[in-house]
């Protein structure tokens, strides 16, 4: 079974998000809620924390600042992810929904919107009637 980077609680104890001349912020650092997928808040907040660390000449503190601020919440969400999605028909819920989308035209079209292949402006004319 494939596990996503952000969904593995163990990665919160080992990931590096800052070095001597680099830093990862937002999605690049894996700052997205493993349950909801929401990441805008964490992108903005990690930007604020990095800017503060950088302006204070202490880039190394960026990682600690993130972990102290919201890292515990994201790690806990990663631990709870299977409670929300669990197993559905023998596989993780998200994998089953992708498989279901391959045979259900409505879900396939919704997935195309989420993937950026289908825009909202012309969605209605192309949407199957219920």
Tell me the pLDDT tens digit for each residue of 74-130: 888 888 776 666 666 666 666 766 777 777 766 666 666 655 666 666 666 555 554
How confident is the model at residue 121, as a pLDDT?
60
The count of structural domains within the chain is: 2
Residues 94 and 54 in one domain: no
**Same domain (yes/no): 14, 76:** yes
Same domain for 73 and 43: yes
Question: Structural domain of residue 14, as residue ranges?
Answer: 1-81
CA distances from 37 to 7, 33, 115 (A): 10, 5, 14
10 or 41, which is more confident? 41
Question: Among residues 57, 81, 105, which one ends one of the domains?
Answer: 81
Q: Which burial class, exposed, middle or buried, applies to 122 when counting CB atoms under 10 A from its CB (0-12, 13-18, 19+)?
A: exposed
Structure tokens at 19: 């070095």
């Amino acid at each position: 079974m494939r596990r996503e980077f952000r969904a593995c609680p163990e990665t919160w104890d080992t990931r590096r998000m800052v070095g001597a001349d680099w830093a990862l912020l937002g999605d690049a650092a894996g700052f997205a809620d493993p349950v909801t997928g929401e990441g805008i808040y964490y992108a903005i907040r990690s930007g604020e924390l990095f800017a503060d660390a950088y302006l204070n000449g202490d880039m190394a503190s960026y990682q600690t600042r993130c972990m102290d601020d919201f890292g515990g919440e994201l790690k806990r969400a990663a631990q709870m992810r299977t409670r929300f999605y669990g197993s559905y028909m023998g596989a993780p819920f998200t994998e089953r929904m992708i498989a279901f989308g391959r045979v259900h035209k409505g879900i396939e079209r919704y997935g195309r919107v989420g993937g950026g292949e289908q825009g909202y402006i012309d969605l209605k004319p192309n949407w199957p009637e219920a």
